[in-house]
C-alpha cells in the first residue's frame, strides 16, 4: 500500500484566517489527502496552530489575555473552523505542545553536536519605553529596499526581502509605537545554514517536477547576493520553547526561547507524535512516518504552503533535518501557491476588507466556498476573489450543472417510476458515448489529481458533470416516456447511475454534497476505475430518495449586499 504523508503550512494563532490563507495551503492539501485516501493510500494528514513568536504575544496583549490562555482559546476556534470547512486532518496539533518542546530541544542539541550551531554576540534593538529587547517582528519601519512603510524587522511583506531590524528606516516598537529605541548587545544562537549550502543546492536540483515557484524562490535565496545566510534561532521572549541542548540547560541562554521559524516546522513531526499519543499508539506508530530507519523510507511526503513559506521549507527546515544527521524523512514534493487577492486589493483585518473563515461559514455552506476557491486556486499566478466571479461559479457550476442534473433526474423518476431504479429497455450508442467521454475525462482527472494540479482537476470534474447534463438534455426521457416508457426507463436508470459516480469523484472538492448524493442514492461511495463498471452500481429495484435542493443560487441582490458588507473602510 502506498503511504502518503501530507502537511499543510501552520496557520498563525493570532486570529481567524481569511480565504486567501485557507486556499494557500489547507484547502488544496485537503483535496489531495481525500484523493489519496479514495484511491487506497494510507494517509497521514497533519496540521497545527503556530503558537509562538511575536504574533501570538501581540494578539494576546490586544485581547487583554495571557498568551497561553489566548492560544488555547484560538486553537479551538481555528480547529472548529477547520471542521466547518471539512478539512480532514488526521490531527490538528499545537506547536506549544510538550511533544514539540521536546523535539525542538532535541534537534537543537543534535545540531550543536554536529557543529551547526554558533553562539553570536549581536546588536539588538532595546525599547526603553517597553523595558525589553524587541525581537524582529516587534519592530516596524520603512523597508530600505522598496520603501514600504510597515515592513517588519525580519522581512518586508511587500517585496519579501529578508531584513534585520537594524536595517529599517525610522524604526518603531510594534508594542507601544515608541521610537525611543537603542541598540544593545546580546547573545543568540545561529543555525549555520551556510555550511549546508552546497548540500541543499544539490538536493533541490535533484527534486523532479517541483513547481517553478518553489524552486525559483529556493534558488534565489541560495544564490542571490552573498547566498544562503546563517540565521538566528533564538529570541528574547517569554513565550516559546525554552532554549536547551536536548534535556540539558544551555549555558548563557537562560531566559531565551527558540525562534518561531525554527520550532514551527518541527511541529509537523511533533503533531504526528501528538496524534499517536492521543490515539493510544506506541511511538513506533509516528516514527514509521518520520524516521527512515523505522519505515519512513517508503513514505511519499508532500508539503502544501503559500509562497511566503517556501524559503523556510526548502532551506531552513531541510537544513535542520539534514544537520541533525539522524535518519529523518525529507520532503519529496513541495506544492506552493501564489496569493489570492480580494476585489482589486488585499484582504485586511484592520480595515474589515474581505471575507474571513468564520464569516464565510455564517453566509453560505462550506461547499460553495470550497468549490470557488479550489477552481480558482492561485497556482501559476495570483488570483482574485470578486463577488461576481463567486456568484457565477456557484450558480453556473454547482446549481445549473451538478445540482440541476441530480434534481431533474431524481424528481422525474419519482414522478413516473417511483423512488426505485426502473427496469426495462437497453443501453445503446448514446450511453456508450457517455461512457467513453467520462473515461477520457476520468483519466485526465486522475492524472491531474495525482500531479496536484488543482485547477485542472476542478475543470475535469466540472466537465464530467456537464457530460451527464448534456446526455439528459439530448435523451429527453420525459418526452420519450409518452411513446416508449421502456426506453425512457433505460435512460433514467443510466442517468441515476451517474449520481453515485459524481458523488465519488466530487468528494475531494465538495464533500458535503458528495455525502448528500451518496445517501440519496443509498450507496457507499468508492473511487471509480472505469465508467462502464461504475454505471452499473444501481440495479433495477434499488431504492433512492430525492435530495433537497443541493445548491441555492446567489441572487444579484444578495451578491451586491455581500460585496458592500465586506468592502471595508
Residue numbers in the known binding site are 143, 146, 156, 159, 349
Other C-beta atoms closer than 10 Å to the C-beta of 539 total: 10
346 with 353: CB under 8 angstroms? yes
Annotated binding-site residues for ATP read 349
Q: Alpha helix locations (H) across 146-281?
A: 197-205, 212-223, 260-278
Question: What's the Rg (C-alpha) of the chain?
Answer: 27
Which string of b and e fits 433-471 if b means at least 16 CB within 10 Å?
Answer: ebbebbbebbebbbebbeebbbbbbbbbbbbbbbbbbeb
| Whole-number Å distance between alpha carbons of 323 and 320 | 5
Q: Can you name the residues that pair with 126 across neighbouring β-strands?
A: 133, 182
| Binding site listing for Zn(2+) | 143, 146, 156, 159
Q: Evaluate whether 337 touches 28 at the Cβ level (below 8 Å).
A: yes
| 333-337, strands of its sheet edge to edge | 91-94, 42-49, 3-8, 299-306, 333-337
Alpha carbon distance 84, 479 (integer Å) = 42
Question: Is the Cα dihedral 184, 187, 189, 193 positive or negative?
Answer: positive
| Angstrom distance (rounded) from CA 300 to CA 252 | 40
What secondary structure does DSSP assign to 169-203, as a single string? EEEEETTT----EEEEEEEEEEE-GGGGHHHHHHH
Q: What are phi and psi of 299, to 5 degrees?
A: -85, 140
Beta carbons within 10 angstroms of residue 198's beta carbon: 11
- The residue among 550, 441, 567 whose CA lies nearest residue 505 is 441
Q: Which of 188, 187, 189, 190 is nearest to 230 (CA)?
A: 190
CA atoms within 13 Å, Cβ hemisphere of 116: 23
Amino acid at each position: 500500500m502506498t503511504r502518503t504523508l501530507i502537511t499543510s503550512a501552520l496557520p498563525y494563532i493570532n486570529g481567524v484566517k481569511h480565504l486567501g490563507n485557507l486556499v494557500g495551503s489547507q484547502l488544496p492539501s485537503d483535496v489531495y489527502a481525500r484523493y489519496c485516501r479514495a484511491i487506497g493510500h494510507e494517509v497521514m494528514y497533519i496540521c497545527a496552530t503556530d503558537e509562538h513568536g511575536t504574533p501570538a504575544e501581540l494578539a494576546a496583549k490586544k485581547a487583554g489575555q495571557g498568551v497561553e490562555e489566548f492560544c488555547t482559546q484560538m486553537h479551538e476556534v481555528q480547529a472548529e473552523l477547520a471542521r466547518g470547512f471539512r478539512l480532514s486532518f488526521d490531527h490538528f496539533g499545537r506547536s506549544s505542545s510538550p511533544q514539540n518542546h521536546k523535539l525542538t530541544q532535541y534537534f537543537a542539541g543534535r545540531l550543536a553536536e554536529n557543529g551547526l550551531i554558533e553562539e553570536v554576540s549581536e546588536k539588538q534593538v532595546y525599547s526603553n519605553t517597553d523595558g525589553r529587547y524587541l525581537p524582529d517582528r516587534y519592530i516596524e519601519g520603512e523597508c530600505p529596499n522598496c520603501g514600504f512603510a510597515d515592513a517588519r524587522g525580519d522581512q518586508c511583506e511587500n517585496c519579501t526581502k529578508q531584513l534585520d531590524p537594524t536595517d529599517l528606516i525610522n524604526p518603531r516598537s510594534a508594542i507601544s509605537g515608541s521610537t525611543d529605541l537603542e541598540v544593545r548587545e546580546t547573545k543568540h544562537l545561529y543555525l549555520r545554514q551556510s555550511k549546508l549550502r552546497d548540500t541543499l543546492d544539490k538536493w533541490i536540483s535533484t527534486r523532479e517536477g517541483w513547481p517553478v515557484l518553489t524552486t525559483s524562490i529556493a534558488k534565489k535565496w541560495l544564490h542571490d547576493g552573498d547566498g544562503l545566510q546563517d540565521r538566528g534561532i533564538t529570541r528574547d521572549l517569554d513565550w516559546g520553547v525554552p532554549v536547551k541542548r536536548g534535556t540539558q540547560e544551555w549555558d548563557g541562554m537562560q531566559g531565551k526561547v527558540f525562534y518561531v521559524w525554527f520550532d514551527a516546522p518541527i511541529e509537523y513531526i511533533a503533531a504526528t507524535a501528538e496524534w499517536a499519543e492521543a490515539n493510544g499508539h506506541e511511538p513506533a506508530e509516528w516514527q514509521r512516518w518520520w524516521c527512515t530507519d523505522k519505515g519512513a523510507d517508503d513514505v511519499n511526503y508532500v508539503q502544501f504552503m503559500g509562497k511566503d513559506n517556501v524559503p523556510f521549507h526548502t532551506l531552513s527546515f531541510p537544513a535542520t533535518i539534514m544537520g541533525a544527521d539522524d535518519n529523518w524523512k525529507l520532503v519529496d514534493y513541495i506544492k506552493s501557491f501564489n496569493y489570492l487577492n480580494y476585489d482589486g486589493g488585499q484582504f485586511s483585518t484592520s480595515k474589515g476588507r474581505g471575507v474571513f473563515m468564520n464569516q464565510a461559514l455564517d453566509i453560505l455552506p462550506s461547499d460553495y466556498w470550497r468549490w470557488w476557491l479550489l477552481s480558482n486556486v492561485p497556482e501559476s499566478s495570483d488570483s482574485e476573489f470578486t463577488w461576481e466571479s463567486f456568484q457565477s461559479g456557484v450558480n453556473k457550476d454547482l446549481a445549473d450543472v451538478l445540482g440541476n442534473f441530480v434534481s431533474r433526474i431524481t424528481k422525474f423518476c419519482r414522478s413516473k417510476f417511483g423512488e426505485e431504479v426502473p427496469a426495462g429497455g437497453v443501453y445503446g450508442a448514446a450511453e456508450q458515448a457517455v461512457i467513453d467521454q467520462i473515461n477520457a475525462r476520468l483519466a485526465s482527472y486522475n492524472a491531474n489529481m495525482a500531479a496536484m494540479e488543482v485547477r485542472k482537476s476542478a475543470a475535469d470534474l466540472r466537465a464530467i458533470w456537464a457530460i451527464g447534463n448534456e446526455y439528459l438534455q439530448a435523451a429527453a426521457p420525459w418526452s420519450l416516456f409518452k411513446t416508449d416508457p421502456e426506453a425512457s426507463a433505460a435512460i433514467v436508470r443510466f442517468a441515476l447511475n451517474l449520481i453515485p459516480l459524481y458523488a465519488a469523484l466530487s468528494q475531494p472538492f465538495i464533500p458535503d454534497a458528495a455525502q448528500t448524493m451518496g445517501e440519496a442514492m443509498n450507496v457507499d461511495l468508492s473511487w471509480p476505475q472505469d465508467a462502464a463498471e461504475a454505471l452499473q452500481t444501481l440495479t433495477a429495484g434499488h431504492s433512492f430518495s430525492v435530495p433537497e435542493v443541493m445548491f441555492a443560487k446567489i441572487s444579484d441582490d444578495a451578491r451586491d449586499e455581500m460585496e458592500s458588507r465586506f468592502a471595508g473602510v
